[in-house]
Amino acid sequence: MELTRQIKAWAREHGFDQVGIAGIDMGNAEARLLQWIEHGFHGEMDYMARHGTLRSRPAELVPGTLRVIAARMDYVSEDAGDWIDAGWESVRTAERAGVARYAQGRDYHRVIRSRLKALAERIAAAIGPLGFRVFTDSAPLMEVELAHQAGLGWRGKHTLLLSREAGSMFFLGEILVDLPLPVDSPVDDHCGQCRRCIDICPTGAIVAPYLLDARRCISYLTIELKGSIPIELRPLIGNRVYGCDDCQLACPWNKYAKRAVVADFDGRGLDQLTLIEAFSWDEETFLQRTEGSAMRRIGYTQWLRNVAVGIGNALASRLDGFMRARLEAALAARTEHPSEMVREHVQWALAQKPIAAAVSGSAPAKGAT
């Protein structure tokens, strides 16, 4: 117990906002995972099926594992201001390029892995030889389930981890260790009858409470999906070019979201990025603007695909003539792009026409459809 208390104190010194200890039995979660895969909800994320039960059996992933030290790191930066209002403003402004809040700072994989490793080495320095491996969204592990069992929160209806003290705006990481540490107690579900995340999802990806069809999720469509975005889903993506925060913006618990205690997640001005600027980037500019960011993982071609969809949706909104002409010109400049996928999405975007106002003469919201 004393060592556990010490580990949690050290974790805060290394930039983590909360740490808990979980066991390695995830039998119930394993059954749900296999059923989810059987329904095909993982889409083209073949690694989900390929790793199978390894995700729910930490001791098979790292032999000798007895416990999992689960850690939370908040990521809403101090410079984000009123990030909820800013998030909705970004969604409502058709010519803006929407980038999920978590991706606007430094790549969390690098930040958290290095800090977890430093924490593990500190534990080893205190107690002697220690078998450990560190992960953060980088191995076949059911991170949300482990964090739940470690007492960091409960699985919300949007399937993200939720905390009464910190909402859901945080990253998770784990240290798998061969120490028989005392485990923490799981947290009860506090979603109650609320279904705001379900109702707000633009594509209806949350098909039931606690059940996500990733094939419809905008984060999947803009990041994980490597090919053409299904035509029927393109209008629902709006101006979101990398990820989506809507379910988190709508969640009442996120009024308690904490600010990041590390500077790595400070913004890079991406919250003000416009579709025209994003589409004007050449590959060198894309690599420069996304250096050290999780955004780089999608590559330049996929970036252009996403932004083309955003521009098409902007053209389907009630914009003024000047902005419409600028957007159409931006698309026209890419009609001969070497990538067939980019060309196809550009042609789709050029074909989008304004949606008639529901009430004649009504004043439109800023850039809204």
Tell me the Cα Rg of the chain: 22
Q: Return left, alpha or beta for 40; rule: phi > 0 is left, psi -120 to 50 is alpha, else beta.
A: left
Q: Are 300 and 341 in contact (CB under 8 A)?
A: no
Q: Are 70 and 174 in contact (CB under 8 A)?
A: yes
pLDDT of residue 269: 85
Per-residue 3-state assignment (H helix, E strand, C coil) for the chain: CHHHHHHHHHHHHCCCCEEEEECCCCHHHHHHHHHHHHCCCCCCCHHHHHHHHHHHCHHHHCCCCCEEEEEEEECECHHHCCHHHHHHHHHHCCCECEECHHHHCCCHHHHHHHHHHHHHHHHHHHHCCCCEEEECCCCCCCHHHHHHHCCCCEECCCCCEEECCCECCEEEEEEEECCCCCCCCCCCCCCCCCCHHHHHCCCCCEEECCEECHHHCHHHHHHHCCCCCCCCCHHHHCCEEECCCHHHHHCHHHHHCCECCCHHHCCCCHHHCEHHHHHHCCHHHHHHHCCCCHHHHHHHHHHHHHHHHHHHHHHCCCCCHHHHHHHHHHHHCCCCCCCHHHHHHHHHHHCCCCCCCCCCCCCCCCCCC
Q: Of residues 46, 82, 137, 271, which has the active-site annotation? A: 137
pLDDT of residue 245: 98
pLDDT of residue 369: 30
Catalytic, 137? Answer yes
Q: Are strands 240-242 and 98-99 parallel, antiparallel or unpaired?
A: parallel
pLDDT of residue 362: 32
pLDDT of residue 366: 43
The dihedral through the CA atoms of 276, 279, 282, 283 has a sign that is positive
The residues, ordered by sequence, that sit 6+ positions from 229 with a Cβ below 8 Å of its Cβ are 221, 222, 237, 305, 309, 345
pLDDT of residue 356: 58
pLDDT of residue 48: 77
CA dihedral 298, 116, 156, 61 (to 10 degrees): 80
B/e letters for 56-88, b = 16+ CB within 10 Å, e = fewer, are bbbeebbeebebbbbbbbbbbbebbeebbeebe
Closest CA to 20 of 181, 189, 169: 181
Q: Are strands 132-135 and 170-177 parallel, antiparallel or unpaired?
A: antiparallel
Per-residue model confidence as pLDDT tens for the chain (369 residues): 999 999 999 999 999 999 999 999 987 888 888 898 899 999 988 877 777 677 788 999 999 999 999 999 999 998 888 999 999 999 999 999 999 999 999 999 999 999 999 999 999 999 999 999 999 987 778 999 999 999 999 999 999 999 999 999 999 999 999 999 999 999 999 999 999 999 999 999 999 999 999 999 999 999 999 999 999 999 999 999 999 999 999 999 999 999 999 999 998 889 899 999 999 999 999 999 999 999 999 999 999 999 999 999 999 998 999 999 999 999 999 999 999 999 999 999 999 999 754 332 333 344 433
The neighbour count for residue 128, using CB atoms within 10 Å, is: 7
